[in-house]
């Protein structure tokens, strides 16, 4: 909790020191202070990652295979063959980052991954004031949310490691919200903005397709808000979807050629569904169900190699759906537990009688404040409240029926932080309810206002 207090103190100091600055100059000063806070509070983890490299992740294994010229394959630590188990964009990025280096596990390679993960983290957090103003909230709430997340360690290992795509997925989601704010303001009349939004959707589909559910729910909220312009919204959405589909087609064609099935996103849904819905499932990706079913084990990896990945994943999906139909009551109870874990109480993986930690209570407090503000905004600013609620529900949806862990929340924690910060300002009467909105640009002109 010391890091959180330090981050909040730096936020207050930065606000005071930049009170006489305006526009871009203030944004740059606060963004620089934010970057120092993020890196400084994660420095211990950075040093640990430079000296101790944990077991390679699935993304790393595929990236190393690509860097060595072997192709997009073998994510499980065994020679299981070509894969679509992981999304293509981040392994290709990691491979491009590592390929000039002679040893992909060397300290320079690790440092490159760490720097890229931290850069994506800083970029996403520094854009939160622009998101706030784009949604009609207080820009101050955006800065408070950014420093709040900088001080909380929930995603620090993911951000400082660079071995998972979640920091980049969070940045893509923030950029999508900014593009959505501009589309709403322009009433879907700008083809350029529609094209940009389509590219971002395509990037999300190739990077972290589980976030597409959130994007879909946000679109429904936007469609409902555009009375008299809904035909134009539908046309724009079709154009946007077409751009995204064009970006996904080469990946689907590769999968059809190599795996025998035109998989548009990832092949892993059946496996995740089976691990999360079995007689010995707990709602957390560990334990006997995980050990028994996941190809990280040698026996299951041999089955993947014999059957082929696409056939194995189809079999896992059939097993999961059979169990769900045989025991729907247990499925509902497991799903409810996962929903509570994801959205309210981060207690997954802990014994039932384990005590809540201070960080657990911090998460619960943020969640409660966030949902209270959603209710408030649905009355006062329905579009903002609806969009932020859609982001939370859509991000949680894939994990409610599979399994939950803290890393999966990384792309949406900023929504909780922003809602909670805005409610704090509203209750304390700090900042006007009618702050001027700024255009959500790459470097927001009034995001520090």
Q: How confident is the model at residue 67 (pLDDT cuts 50, 70, 90)?
A: confident
Question: Mean pLDDT in the chain?
Answer: 85
Which residues, other chains included, contact 327 with Cβ-Cβ below 8 Å and sequence gap of 6+?
A: none
CA angle 86, 88, 89 (to 5 degrees): 125
Per-residue pLDDT tens digits for 192-222: 999 999 999 999 999 999 999 999 999 999 9
Q: Which residue has the higher pLDDT, 154 or 36?
A: 36
The pLDDT of residue 439 is above 70: no
Q: How confident is the model at residue 390 (pLDDT cuts 50, 70, 90)?
A: very high
The rounded distance, in Å, linking the Cα atoms of 342 and 332 is 15
The rounded distance, in Å, linking the Cα atoms of 11 and 81 is 49
Least confident of 72-81, 101-110, 330-339, 423-432: 101-110
Q: How confident is the model at residue 406 (pLDDT cuts 50, 70, 90)?
A: confident
Please check whether residue 366 is in contact with residue 313, taking contact to mean a CB–CB distance below 8 angstroms: no
Structure tokens at 34: 């934010």
Q: What is the pLDDT of residue 40?
A: 84
The owner of tokens 């050990």 is: 291
Q: Which residue has the higher pLDDT, 96 or 49?
A: 96
Q: How confident is the model at residue 331 (pLDDT cuts 50, 70, 90)?
A: very high
Q: What is the pLDDT of residue 351?
A: 63
Which residues, other chains included, contact 165 with Cβ-Cβ below 8 Å and sequence gap of 6+?
A: 59, 87, 89, 90, 207, 208
Q: What is the pLDDT of residue 443?
A: 42
The owner of tokens 């134009």 is: 232
The pLDDT of residue 432 is above 60: no
SS3 state at 329: helix
Q: What is the pLDDT of residue 430?
A: 52
Q: What is the pLDDT of residue 383?
A: 92
Q: What is the pLDDT of residue 449?
A: 39
Average pLDDT over residues 9-16: 74
Average pLDDT over residues 417-428: 92
Q: How confident is the model at residue 37 (pLDDT cuts 50, 70, 90)?
A: confident
Average pLDDT over residues 148-159: 82
Q: What is the pLDDT of residue 57?
A: 83
User: What is the separation, in whole angstroms, between the first and last Cα of the chain?
Assistant: 28
The rounded distance, in Å, linking the Cα atoms of 38 and 149 is 9
Please check whether residue 262 is in contact with residue 255, taking contact to mean a CB–CB distance below 8 angstroms: yes
Please check whether residue 87 is in contact with residue 206, taking contact to mean a CB–CB distance below 8 angstroms: yes
* Residue ranges of domains in the chain: 2-428
The pLDDT of residue 436 is above 60: no
Q: What is the pLDDT of residue 440?
A: 40
Per-residue pLDDT tens digits for 228-241: 888 999 999 999 99
Q: Which residue has the higher pLDDT, 294 or 106?
A: 294
- Mapping DSSP onto H, E and C, the string for 25-90 reads HHHHHHHHHHHHHHHHHCHHHHHHHHHCCCCCCHHHHHHHHHHCCCCCECCCCCCCCECCCCCCHH
Q: How confident is the model at residue 284 (pLDDT cuts 50, 70, 90)?
A: confident
Average pLDDT over residues 282-310: 86
- In Å, what is the CA distance from 168 to each residue of 93, 120, 413? 11, 6, 14
């Amino acid at each position: 909790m010391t890091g959180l207090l330090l981050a909040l103190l730096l936020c207050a100091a930065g606000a005071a020191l930049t009170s006489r600055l305006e526009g871009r100059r203030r944004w740059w000063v606060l963004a620089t202070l934010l970057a120092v806070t993020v890196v400084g509070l994660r420095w211990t983890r950075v040093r640990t990652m430079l000296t101790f490299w944990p077991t390679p992740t699935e993304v790393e294994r595929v990236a190393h295979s690509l860097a060595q010229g072997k192709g997009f394959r073998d994510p499980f630590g065994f020679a299981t063959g070509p894969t679509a188990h992981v999304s293509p964009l981040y392994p290709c990025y990691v491979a491009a980052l590592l390929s000039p280096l002679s040893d992909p596990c060397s300290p320079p390679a690790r440092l490159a991954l760490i720097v890229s993960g931290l850069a994506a983290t800083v970029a996403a957090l520094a854009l939160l004031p622009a998101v706030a103003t784009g949604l009609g909230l207080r820009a101050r709430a955006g800065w408070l949310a950014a420093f709040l997340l900088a001080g909380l360690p929930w995603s620090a290992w993911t951000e400082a490691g660079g071995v998972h795509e979640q920091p980049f997925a969070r940045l893509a989601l923030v950029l999508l919200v900014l593009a959505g704010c501009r589309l709403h303001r322009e009433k879907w009349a700008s083809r350029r903005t529609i094209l940009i939004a389509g590219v971002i959707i395509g990037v999300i589909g190739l990077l972290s397709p589980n976030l597409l559910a959130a994007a879909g729910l946000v679109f429904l909220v936007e469609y409902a808000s555009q009375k008299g312009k809904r035909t134009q919204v539908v046309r724009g959405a079709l154009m946007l979807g077409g751009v995204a589909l064009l970006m996904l087609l080469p990946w689907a064609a590769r999968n059809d050629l190599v795996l025998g099935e035109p998989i548009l996103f990832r092949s892993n849904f059946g496996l995740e569904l089976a691990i999360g819905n079995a007689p010995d499932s707990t709602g957390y990706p560990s334990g006997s169900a995980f050990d028994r079913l996941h190809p990280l084990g040698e026996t299951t990896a041999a089955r993947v190699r014999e059957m082929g990945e696409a056939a194995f994943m189809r079999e896992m999906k059939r097993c999961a759906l059979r169990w769900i139909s045989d025991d729907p009551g247990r499925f509902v109870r497991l799903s409810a537990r996962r929903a509570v874990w994801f959205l309210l109480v981060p207690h997954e993986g802990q014994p039932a009688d384990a005590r809540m930690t201070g960080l657990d209570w911090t998460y619960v407090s943020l969640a409660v404040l966030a949902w209270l503000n959603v209710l408030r905004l649905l009355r006062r600013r329905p579009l903002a409240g609806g969009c932020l609620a859609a982001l939370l529900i859509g991000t949680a949806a894939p994990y409610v029926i599979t399994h939950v862990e803290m890393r999966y929340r990384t792309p949406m924690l900023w929504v909780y932080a922003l809602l909670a910060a805005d409610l704090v300002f509203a209750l304390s009467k700090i900042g006007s309810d009618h702050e001027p909105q700024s255009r959500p640009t790459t470097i927001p002109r009034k995001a520090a206002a």
